Chains A and B, each alone.
Chain A
Amino acid sequence: MSSESTRTLSEADSKQLLAEYGLPILAEYTVATVGEAVVASVKTGLPCVLKLCGDTIAHKTERNLVRLGLASNSDVERAAEELLGQATTADGAVALLVAPMVRAAREFIVGADRSDEFGPVVMIGVGGIFAEALEDVAFRLLPVATSDIEQMIDDLATQSMLDEFRGEPAVDRAQLIAVVKAVGDAMVARDDIASIDINPVLIADGKAVAVDALVALV
């Protein structure tokens, strides 16, 4: 597996790149200041999410750079101040990403990688807190046909995650297929991409939405 990528794109840039290939993302705003964050949160609506974002920041959760469920202007202000304060000189240029808060019971992970043995591959798996325990994933070689992606989803062991679930409708498969297709198409079109992680893809009211994205360049 490719492990020598030289740089990663910021979450915002990663999403923007993948949106060009059809990745469903929410309207979100990259801002520089606390005041701009508050203005942006009016556009996203409350509650919202704030993340510290930058080209060298690959693992936000591990560094506690994500603030969820911000329900008031003062919540947003405080979170923005904290996050900007957590930036280190090693992070280089940083920004605040303001996004709507998505509530979802189900998570998937979608990604792509370049294998030494098989070349470019695409993956879908069950995400969330048990993802590493379940390791319920399906891979295909790129490029993939839509019928291949349908079969990947059928290959997941935890099929009940795709049906109606805790009062939410069944997963819109066509739209989940579009997420995998976008990731695969980007990987095929761009030789300079080493790997892509969309983690998580949340299922909100049956619809898949990419809430985080990380593109690593070769």
Chain B
Amino acid sequence: MTIDLLPLFEPAGIVVAGASSHPGKFGFAVLHNIITCGYSGRIFATNRNGGSLLGIDCLTSVSQVPVGQADMVYVCVPAQAVAGVLREAASVGIRSAFIASSGFGEGGDDQGQAHARGLAALADELGMVIAGPNGQGLVSTPASFCAQFVGPFPPAGGVSIVSQSGNLASGAMNYAAASGVGVARAISAGNATCLGVDDYIEWLADDPATTAIVAYIEGVADARRFYETVRTTTLRKPVVVVKGGTSDEGAKAAASHTGSLATNDRIFDGMLRQAGVWRSPDIGAAFGAAAALSVHQPMHGPNVAFLTTAGGWGVLTADAMSRASVQLMELPADLMDALDEVMPPRWSKGNPIDVAGGETRDTIPDALHLIAAHESVDAVLMLGMGIQSNTAALMRRGQFSGLEDIDRICSFHERQDRRYAEAIVEASQVTGTPILAASELALSNPENPGPATLREYGHPCYTSPGDAVAAFAALYERGRYLAANL
């Protein structure tokens, strides 16, 4: 049965137990982040010495919180004091806890492991959902809730993150902030003593705010339960997994040939494929895949049409596609004819669909709609957006920027790149065909109207064509999986 994690992700009131007046301490940073990121619920803080902190009058104990006023306690007191805080929290009606404190056996010490066993028993006794210990915290954008002692607070969106490393949760959120493809929930599972990765995934499967899930996993307590959970989840939502510890060869000397080949990573990999999970080698790639899966429909086939304002990318991108199970499609005759009507005479007459610099005001948006709407096109790759605005940026910085003609043409280019980005968003929404854009300008010139507009709409702009191709592979694999299993 799914464990209700709403008190954790959308508490009506929060208590920071062990708040600190020192800005370098976790107990300060988390209170600061909760207050400044816009959480609108009731906020309480405890500090042994009382006093006022960031405008909040500290209580000296959690038991002083009025009954029923808080649903969650964020705990940053030392390990030996955690149980006492949780009992007090339960006594005032608090139903959930995030334990940031370390000292619960993560170093393998006996006393810490005893604390961990105590924590698990206490969770059962008090009927409380307990995240952590030894985690950074959690983020929940629907509640403007940033209960973590680190940054960032990412933009709101559909990707949810579960991580057995707090640092990699932050990493995924940094990619979210950079791309504009936002986050719904993110949690650093810490030692996952009471709530495991599969508990979070199970809840996120039902969470209306979540459209795709990214998980960083080092190990699971019960592989079969994990399998059943993700297999059920992927029928409803895409799941992307990064698995750590792949170099740890799990197979031992075995009597059978099969047994000697059966490393844990090979089986884990097969299990993820079987469960319809997309596996990525690192967090950047995982977020890239999740961004596409979150924003776009799955691909029904491998056929990619590639629209570009300039050449040079075609061969390498076609190679990358063939390595990644999708393909640069042959354009059907009727699409060629239709394109002839909107394209400049010197267009490439094939895929890549290269306007060869001959575009006029409406060429790119018109072509994009035509291509995306064609039944044989499973996805579109758009390159070359932002080039003209990049030139404009240079002109605007030069000493001739005041010339009327320069300003007029720069403004035109900037409007055009904005229109291209808006056409990507609109054509993919109208037709249901995924359209992915790639441009390194997203890195070198993030304010360029091309990538900036996509970011504004929460659509990914990949920083290389290869990254976009990897995302297509994830979209196509999901389409295949759903077709075979739904």
Q: Which A residues are within 8 Å of any B CB, using their own CB?
A: 1-3, 5, 58, 109, 111-113, 115, 117-119, 121, 123, 125, 135, 137-141, 144-145, 147-148, 151-152, 155, 194-197, 199, 214, 216
Identify which of residues 267-314 in chain B touch chain A, using a CB-to-CB cut-off of 8 Å: 267-271, 273-274
CA A139 to CA B268, docked complex, whole Å: 8
Does B484 make an interface contact (CB < 8 A)? yes
Does B266 make an interface contact (CB < 8 A)? yes
Chain A CB within 10 Å — which of B251, B258, B273 has the most?
A: B258
B267-A111 in contact (CB<8A): no
List, in ascending order, chain B residues with CB within 8 A of A125's CB: 261
Query: Can you sample 14 A-B contacts with CB below 8 Å?
Result: A1-B254, A2-B255, A3-B255, A111-B257, A111-B258, A113-B256, A115-B262, A115-B264, A118-B223, A118-B264, A140-B273, A141-B267, A144-B274, A196-B256
Q: Which B residues are within 8 Å of any A CB, using their own CB?
A: 223-224, 227, 250-262, 264, 266-271, 273-274, 484-485
Q: Which residue of B is nearest A125, CB measured?
A: B261
With A111-B256, A118-B267 as contacts: A141 and B274 at CB distance below 8 Å: yes
Chain A CB within 10 Å — which of B224, B253, B257 has the most?
A: B257
Q: How far is the CB of A128 from chain B (nearest CB, A)?
A: 12
- State the total of A-B contacts with C-beta under 8 angstroms: 100
Q: Which 8 A-B pairs have the closest CB atoms?
A: A111-B258, A139-B270, A195-B256, A1-B259, A1-B254, A147-B484, A113-B259, A113-B258
A140-B223 in contact (CB<8A): no
List, in ascending order, chain B residues with CB within 8 A of A121's CB: 262, 267, 270
List, in ascending order, chain A residues with CB within 8 A of B264's CB: 115, 117-118
With A119-B224, A141-B227 as contacts: A3 and B258 at CB distance below 8 Å: no
List, in ascending order, chain B residues with CB within 8 A of A216's CB: 255-256
List, in ascending order, chain B residues with CB within 8 A of A155's CB: 270, 273
Q: How far is the CB of A155 from chain B (nearest CB, A)?
A: 7
CA A139 to CA B259, docked complex, whole Å: 11
CA A192 to CA B252, docked complex, whole Å: 21
A2-B257 in contact (CB<8A): no
CA A135 to CA B266, docked complex, whole Å: 10
CA A188 to CA B161, docked complex, whole Å: 35
B258-A196 in contact (CB<8A): yes
List, in ascending order, chain B residues with CB within 8 A of A152's CB: 270
A195-B258 in contact (CB<8A): yes
B interface, over-half SS = helix
B274-A197 in contact (CB<8A): no
Q: Which residue of A is nearest B275, CB measured?
A: A141
B227-A113 in contact (CB<8A): no
B271-A1 in contact (CB<8A): no
With A111-B259, A216-B255 known, 20 other A-B pairs at CB within 8 A are A1-B262, A2-B259, A3-B254, A5-B255, A58-B255, A111-B256, A112-B258, A113-B262, A115-B264, A117-B267, A135-B261, A139-B269, A140-B273, A140-B274, A141-B274, A148-B274, A194-B255, A194-B256, A195-B256, A197-B258
With A1-B251, A1-B252 as contacts: A141 and B259 at CB distance below 8 Å: no
Q: How far is the CB of B218 from chain A (nearest CB, A)?
A: 14
CA A121 to CA B224, docked complex, whole Å: 11
List, in ascending order, chain B residues with CB within 8 A of A194's CB: 255-256
A123-B262 in contact (CB<8A): yes
A118-B273 in contact (CB<8A): no
Chain B CB within 10 Å — which of A1, A115, A147, A197 has the most?
A: A1
List, in ascending order, chain B residues with CB within 8 A of A195's CB: 254-256, 258-259
- Name the contact of A199 in the complex, choosing from B257, B267, B271 (C-beta under 8 A): B257
Q: Which residue of A is nearest B270, CB measured?
A: A139
List, in ascending order, chain B residues with CB within 8 A of A118's CB: 223-224, 227, 264, 267-268, 271
Q: Which residue of B is nearest A110, CB measured?
A: B258
CA A127 to CA B259, docked complex, whole Å: 15
A3-B273 in contact (CB<8A): no
- Name the contact of A123 in the complex, choosing from B258, B271, B484 (C-beta under 8 A): B258
Q: Which residue of B is nearest A58, CB measured?
A: B255
List, in ascending order, chain B residues with CB within 8 A of A144's CB: 274
With A115-B267, A118-B223 as contacts: A3 and B274 at CB distance below 8 Å: no
List, in ascending order, chain A residues with CB within 8 A of B258's CB: 109, 111-113, 123, 195-197
CA A197 to CA B256, docked complex, whole Å: 7
List, in ascending order, chain A residues with CB within 8 A of B252's CB: 1, 3
List, in ascending order, chain B residues with CB within 8 A of A5's CB: 255
With A1-B259, A119-B224, A139-B269 as contacts: A113 and B254 at CB distance below 8 Å: yes
- Name the contact of A139 in the complex, choosing from B254, B257, B262 (C-beta under 8 A): B262
